[in-house]
Amino acid sequence: MKYSKIDSRLFVKNRQRFSKQLKPNSIAIFNANDVMPTSADGNHPFVQQTDTFYLSGIDQEETVLVICPDAPDRKQREILFVRETNEQIATWEGYKFTKAEAQEISGIQTVHWTNELNTILRPLIIESEHIYLNTNEHLRAPDMVETRDMRFLKWCRQTFPLHHYERVAPIMNRLRAVKSPAEIELIKTACGITEKAFRRLLGFIKPGVWEYEIEAEIVHEFMRNRSRGPAYETIVASGIDACTLHYVKNDKQCQKGDLVLIDFGAEFANYAADVTRTLPVNGKFSKRQKEVYNAVLKIQKAAIKLLKPGNTLEKYQDAVVKLMQAELIRLGVLKKADVKKQPKDAPLYKTFFPHGTSHHLGLDVHDYGDRHRKFASGMVFTCEPGIYIRDEAIGVRIENNILITSKGQVDLTKSIPREAEEIEDLMNK
């Protein structure tokens, strides 16, 4: 772990909140992510399954968490299984957690080696009525690869076919959508690291720089500040590619007169920042570029004010769309008469603003949350309107990370420059 130790009380409280959501006489089982292969004998770097981390704090492969709140033996109400190490593993892979360290990190007193799982788990399941298992129910989740959780689910159903099976995902959606103060501090740290990277770029970007060189500057600054690296694949899109929402090739040379759209965010202790800024490659926006840029900024400032308790994503997006349509008409991209007679199922603005304005942010970049749930204090959202005019090779997106509170919005990224004039001044120092 590159990050400093997290107070175990975060994970203790998370488990307490989770346990209260379970039916009587239940057991819940969480698995670590797999170590994913590349080819031959290679592996991708390990990234922990976020629910497992949320409830245990253990950032290591082959971890299993068992929560059984009604177990007669109090020592079996929370059990953590971690991978047993040996000299060979230590020589080839490095240090693994001891049982004592796993206890300290998680706040769980009962810790066993993972190879003891089946022996200990079987009687607990037999004595339980409900089994809560985890699946990835994110609306945009890819399902090409079978996860460790899914393999466990198949084994469990085959081995214990007559139990009542329950879904963990709806509970985790409710819990993880509202961040605790400790989580907010971790997200703030990720945002602070992201700001350092952005300020580094302001003195680096100029005509002739390659997109991958910009990406390298970002990664360098992230890792030197105790981040594992980017929280998601970095987008550095110059020229017309700024109009491609998920452009990740980052292989072009930045040209004088172009804009470069940079969508990036640091990971810190598994928590994510998610920021977008759009810069003029030569340090000076053209008149038209600034006109579009300021339109996006105007929309973003208004949209941030709508991120408040009681609002919903649907109402929020509808309000932002009205702001967007007005700005697109003012920019001359849409005609007012055409907007009035546009079909409801094919609105014209989507050609220039095809994505949503906000998503939950936390342990996952597109974090858990019910899209029909009302906004509440403690939720963290991105706010990222954009205008993409392909015919003019202008793509502008501005994205900040916003904490909702009962007293108003807290912009966790407010110190990352976004005013056009400030950006120009800093780029030309």
pLDDT per position as a tens digit, 134-159: 999 888 888 788 999 999 999 999 99
| Residue of 51, 241, 258, 384 marked active site | 384
Instruction: Determine, yes or no, domain membership for 1.
Output: no
Instruction: Determine, yes or no, domain membership for 255.
Output: yes
| Residue of 44, 164, 224, 355 marked active site | 355
388 is catalytic: yes
Instruction: Determine, yes or no, domain membership for 99.
Output: yes
Q: How many domains does the chain have?
A: 2
Question: Can you read off the two tokens belonging to residue 125?
Answer: 């399941």
| Residue of 149, 211, 241, 263 marked active site | 263
Domain end, chosen from 151, 177, 203, is at 177
Nearest-angstrom CA–CA distance, 115 and 109: 18
Q: Kindly tell me the burial class for residue 155, based on how many C-beta atoms sit within 10 Å of its own C-beta (0-12, 13-18, 19 or more).
A: exposed
* Same domain for 232 and 110: no
* Same domain for 226 and 94: no
| Residue of 199, 200, 366, 373 marked active site | 366
263 is catalytic: yes
* Same domain for 216 and 156: no
* Same domain for 412 and 285: yes
| Residue of 359, 360, 367, 368 marked active site | 359
| Residue of 122, 246, 288, 371 marked active site | 246
Decide: helix, strand or coil at residue 18. helix
Residue 118 CA neighbour count, 13 Å, CB half: 6
Return the bridge partners of 30, or none: 65
Angle of CA points 402, 212, 271, to nearest 5°: 30
pLDDT per position as a tens digit, 179-214: 999 999 999 999 999 999 999 999 999 999 999 999
* Same domain for 50 and 84: yes
Q: Which of 215, 49, 60 is nearest to 147 (CA)?
A: 49
Phi, psi of 158 (to 5 degrees): -70, -40
384 is catalytic: yes
Return the bridge partners of 130, or none: 26, 164
372 is catalytic: no
* Same domain for 320 and 357: yes
Per-residue exposure over 248-260, b if at least 16 CB sit within 10 Å of its own CB, e if not: eebebebeeebbb
200 is catalytic: no
* Same domain for 247 and 148: no
Q: For tokens 């120009």, name the residue.
A: 424
* 0.75 exceeded by pTM: yes
366 is catalytic: yes
| H helix or E strand, kind and range, residue 403 | strand 400-405
| Residue of 61, 183, 274, 364 marked active site | 274
Nearest-angstrom CA–CA distance, 25 and 70: 6
164 is catalytic: no
* Same domain for 125 and 33: yes
* Same domain for 147 and 81: yes
| H helix or E strand, kind and range, residue 101 | helix 99-106
Instruction: Determine, yes or no, domain membership for 121.
Output: yes
Instruction: Determine, yes or no, domain membership for 2.
Output: no
Domain end, chosen from 135, 157, 177, is at 177
392 is catalytic: no
Q: For tokens 């460790």, name the residue.
A: 148
pLDDT per position as a tens digit, 218-261: 999 999 999 999 999 999 999 999 999 999 999 999 999 999 99
Instruction: Determine, yes or no, domain membership for 411.
Output: yes
397 is catalytic: yes
pLDDT per position as a tens digit, 22-76: 999 999 999 999 999 999 999 999 999 999 999 999 999 999 999 999 999 999 9
Average pLDDT over residues 384-393: 98
Q: For tokens 């304005």, name the residue.
A: 357
| Residue of 132, 271, 316, 388 marked active site | 388
Nearest-angstrom CA–CA distance, 388 and 225: 33
* Same domain for 405 and 348: yes
Domain hosting residue 29, numbered range: 9-177
Domain end, chosen from 177, 202, 232, is at 177
CATH number of the domain where residue 338 is located:
3.90.230.10
Q: Kindly tell me the burial class for residue 282, based on how many C-beta atoms sit within 10 Å of its own C-beta (0-12, 13-18, 19 or more).
A: middle
* Same domain for 199 and 224: yes
Per-residue exposure over 286-315, b if at least 16 CB sit within 10 Å of its own CB, e if not: eeebbbbbbbbbebbebbbebbbeeeebee
Q: Which of 91, 106, 170 is nearest to 138 (CA)?
A: 170
Instruction: Determine, yes or no, domain membership for 377.
Output: yes
318 is catalytic: no
* Same domain for 149 and 201: no
CATH number of the domain where residue 129 is located:
3.40.350.10
Instruction: Determine, yes or no, domain membership for 3.
Output: no
